[in-house]
Amino acid sequence: MSRLDALLVLQDGTTFEGEAAGYWPDAPVPATGEVVFNTTLTGYQEVLTDPSYAGQIITFTYPHIGNYGITGRDSESARTFCRGLIVRDLAPRPSSWRSERTIHDFLIEQRLPAITGIDTRRLTRHIRDAGSMPGAFGPVSGPSALSETLLKEAAGAERGTDGRDLVAEVTTPEPYSVGDGPRRIVAYDFGIKRTILRHLGTLGVVEVVPAATPAEEVLARQPDGVFLSNGPGDPAAVGYAVEQIGAILGRVPVFGICLGHQLMATALGGRTYKLPFGHHGGNHPVRRLATGAVEITSQNHNYAIAEGSLPGAEVTHVNLNDGVIEGIGRPDLRAFSVQYHPEAGPGPHDASYLFSEFERIMGA
């Protein structure tokens, strides 16, 4: 299948040549968003369907994407929320007994634009040195070609994720329930993943509620525990959730993951800040301070908790690459959270014990 020439332009003016792939309407408009890179080798479907990537364009550092196809069970949400896909090589034919369709068909179905043939090693090095930044890409040949000038203007106008409430774009509009375990759990949906729900569903009946649900409505459901999910964007822009979490802490056990971890920390008086290029991948080493054990973890976050901003909380986990706080606990409030993804969708299962820990404190 022939593809049109395409161009990726970053907000600082750096350009990369490639070919248009995925979904493009007859009259294309630039695909824009904050460009980040993910270092995982497998799990591209889970990454693309993770609501935490809302507002972002995903670059995969692994060169061959799509080689084992797409399988419905592996999606982390009903649709993609990311803005686009950047790859070196998009596999035209999958090879897996589980494959139900090609990644090309998936991108068309999801109306997700992509650009292939990009020197992703050069792009990753640039983001690593200059930091994540907005960008724009689109076809620059063919009957409806976009100009490089238009792409530069689109990249310059893109806001990125700073200060934006992206949770409102991904949260469920209505409550729903999953699972059949013995306990009752209320899960705040800031962009929750299906793999997390599968884990929680073994512990109890999980009532998933919208991100802006008042604390009193949650407590009126008489839960044994409250879960704070992952999600996209800047935690400072989700003040309404912080207020409700603050009203829940100390009244029932609380477990937070990723954005839920940042929001819980903020409710406890902590501060968050944006990392230069974030943690996105499936092999980040984290030390569990209580035992000294090192866990290989799956991560996806651009923001982190500022060290020293939570004097009342115990730091439980730290990232061995850069020292970022990866876990906190308040045993007196029966609350704990981690920055990484123990559900491992995709990723290693070293940290799955955290769901058992949540079960333990719900029964305490």
Catalytic residue of the set 258, 279, 280, 301: 258
Instruction: Report whether pLDDT(168) > 80.
Output: yes
Beta bridge partners of 133: 35
Q: How does residue 310 score in pLDDT terms, banded at 50, 70 and 90?
A: very high
For 178-225, what is each residue's pLDDT tens digit? 999 899 999 999 999 999 999 999 999 999 999 999 999 999 999 999
Beta bridge partners of 132: none
User: What per-residue confidence (pLDDT) applies to 144?
Assistant: 86
- Spatial CA neighbour of 285 closest among 255, 326, 314, 316: 326
**Looking at residues 314-340, what average pLDDT do you find?**
97
Which is higher by pLDDT, 363 or 224? 224
Q: What is this structure's pTM?
A: 0.96
**Looking at residues 332-345, what average pLDDT do you find?**
96
User: Going by DSSP bridges, is the β-strand pair 183-189/204-210 parallel, antiparallel, or unpaired?
Assistant: parallel
**307 belongs to the catalytic site:** no
| CA–CA dist 117, 86 (Å, integer) | 9
For 141-165, what is each residue's pLDDT tens digit? 988 899 999 999 999 999 999 999 9
**341 belongs to the catalytic site:** yes
Q: Domain segments of the chain: what residues?
A: 5-157, 167-362
Architecture of domain 5-157: 3-Layer(bba) Sandwich (3.50)
Eight-state DSSP code of residue 282:
E
- Spatial CA neighbour of 232 closest among 282, 280, 186, 187: 280
Q: How does residue 3 score in pLDDT terms, banded at 50, 70 and 90?
A: confident
For 174-184, what is each residue's pLDDT tens digit? 999 999 989 99
**Token pair of 315, please?**
């730091």
Catalytic residue of the set 261, 284, 317, 341: 341
User: What per-residue confidence (pLDDT) applies to 337?
Assistant: 98
User: What per-residue confidence (pLDDT) applies to 2?
Assistant: 67
Instruction: Report whether pLDDT(13) > 60.
Output: yes
**DSSP reduced 3-state for 186:** strand
Task: Indicate the helix (H) or strand (E) that contains 105.
Answer: helix 103-109
- Spatial CA neighbour of 228 closest among 189, 195, 199: 189
Please provide the average confidence, as pLDDT, over all residues in the chain: 96
Say which residues have a Cβ less than 8 Å from residue 164's Cβ, sequence separation at least 6.
55, 233, 234, 237
**82 belongs to the catalytic site:** no
Lowest mean pLDDT among 103-112, 226-235, 318-327, 341-350: 341-350
Fold adopted by 167-362: Rossmann fold (3.40.50)
| CA–CA dist 32, 138 (Å, integer) | 9
| Beta-carbon-side half-sphere exposure of residue 1 (alpha carbons within 13 Å) | 11
